């Protein structure tokens, strides 16, 4: 029988070779570049990047998302959340693994096979060690692999996006940035009525039918604008005492705020609305993981990295990030040979 992983030595011994340390990435800094170095053992949030940019169908640049977020969090913005009067370092302890090293395959399916081999295992093992995985993308395809590893906890998935990403296939691809949530539903990793989609304002007929048939809860951008208090009330109610996973696509924001992302859309939400929605998640909820995707960087324009970092700092200030669900000791942690 394979020996279970202990907290620090076993996990890092097994997985560290899969990552480029943050100091060796293009950002040259870990997230926040905090003065006090947090060990993996002490951390309750473990961050890593997946700089994937292979199926994006319009603008490119999301491979640079982890760089944009790390650099702005380390060199531009303060660690103090102004309106909360909280320093995020007092609320969470973050360990930055770096960026997952992607294989140099020309075959998209081989890259996806690799991600399917390693990412669900990494996230599942982190969760069994009571660490919350936070993954920086990278295109939205990564959400399939990230959520899959945590699906055993049966969380509510809160999906911020301009697009549903519920297509059965897109341009001949069953797995791509437009299909992850369809795949998760159809492969029984989540039920449609456990998905809340917020900020949607672009879809096709098939996606609309999928959302209807699978009973996906939708607050499109017009719902949010016209019935804002009702939306907040529903989110507060539905997240009470629930485990939650957040998948945050930066293009949920109106195109004026996201000049670099690959598929910007008008009629979107503004940063203040986003923060109020995140604040409406009930304090009794437990965040088990998160991905933040489609942030891009072009021509030294760091606006998206800045807004993504500021959103993360405000999430870190919330009680639902600090709440824990402890896994029973009898659930041993195992990993495949990598």
Please check whether residue 281 is in contact with residue 198, taking contact to mean a CB–CB distance below 8 angstroms: no
pLDDT in tens, 224-236: 999 999 999 999 9
- In this prediction, residue 132 carries a pLDDT of 97
Provide the H-helix boundaries in 174-288.
Answer: 180-186, 205-213, 221-226, 228-238, 271-280
Q: What letter does residue 102 receive in the DSSP assignment?
A: P
- In this prediction, residue 330 carries a pLDDT of 43
* CA distance linking residue 257 with residue 281, whole number of Å: 23
The mean-pLDDT minimum among 61-65, 130-134, 196-200, 334-338 falls in 334-338
* pLDDT category of residue 1 using cuts at 50, 70 and 90: very low
Provide the H-helix boundaries in 51-158.
Answer: 65-75, 108-128, 142-148
pLDDT in tens, 9-25: 689 999 999 999 999 99
Q: Would you tell me which CATH number, out of the four given (3.30.70.1400, 2.40.40.20, 1.10.260.40, 3.40.800.10), belongs to the domain 9-322?
A: 3.40.800.10
Q: Which of 162, 44, 25 is nearest to 101 (CA)?
A: 25
**Percentage of the chain lying above the pLDDT 90 cut:** 82
* CA distance linking residue 64 with residue 51, whole number of Å: 6
User: E strands along the chain, which residues?
Assistant: 19-20, 45-50, 80-81, 86-87, 94-100, 132-137, 156-160, 195-198, 217-219, 243-249, 286-293
């Amino acid at each position: 029988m394979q020996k279970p992983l202990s907290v620090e030595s076993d996990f890092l011994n097994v997985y560290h070779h899969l990552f480029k340390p943050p100091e060796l990435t293009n950002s040259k800094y870990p997230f926040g570049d905090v003065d006090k170095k947090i060990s993996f053992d002490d951390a309750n949030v473990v961050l890593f990047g997946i700089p994937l940019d292979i199926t994006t169908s319009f603008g490119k640049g999301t491979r640079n998302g982890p760089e944009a977020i790390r650099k702005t969090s380390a060199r531009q913005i303060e660690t103090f959340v102004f309106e909360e009067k909280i320093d995020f370092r007092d609320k969470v302890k973050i360990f930055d693994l770096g960026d997952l090293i992607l294989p140099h395959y020309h075959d998209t399916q081989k890259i996806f096979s690799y991600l399917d081999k390693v990412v669900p295992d990494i996230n599942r093992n982190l969760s069994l060690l009571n660490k919350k995985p936070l993954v920086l993308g990278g295109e939205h395809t990564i959400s399939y692999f990230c959520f899959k590893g945590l699906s055993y906890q049966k969380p509510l998935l809160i999906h911020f996006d301009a697009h549903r990403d519920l297509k059965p296939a897109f341009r001949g691809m069953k797995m791509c940035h437009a299909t992850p949530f369809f795949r998760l539903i159809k492969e029984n990793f989540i039920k449609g009525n456990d998905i809340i989609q917020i900020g949607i304002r672009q879809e096709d007929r098939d996606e609309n039918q999928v959302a209807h048939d699978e009973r996906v809860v939708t607050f499109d951008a017009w719902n949010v604008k016209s019935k804002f208090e009702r939306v907040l009330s529903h989110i507060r109610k539905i997240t009470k005492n629930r485990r939650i996973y957040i998948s945050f696509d930066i293009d949920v924001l109106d195109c004026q705020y996201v000049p670099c992302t690959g598929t910007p859309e008008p009629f979107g939400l503004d940063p203040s609305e986003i923060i109020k929605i995140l604040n409406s998640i009930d304090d009794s909820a437990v965040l088990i993981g998160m991905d933040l995707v489609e942030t891009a960087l072009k021509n030294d324009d760091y606006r998206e990295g800045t807004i993504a970092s500021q959103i993360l700092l405000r999430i870190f200030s919330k009680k639902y990030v600090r709440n824990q669900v402890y896994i029973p000791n009898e659930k041993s942690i195992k990993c495949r040979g990598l």
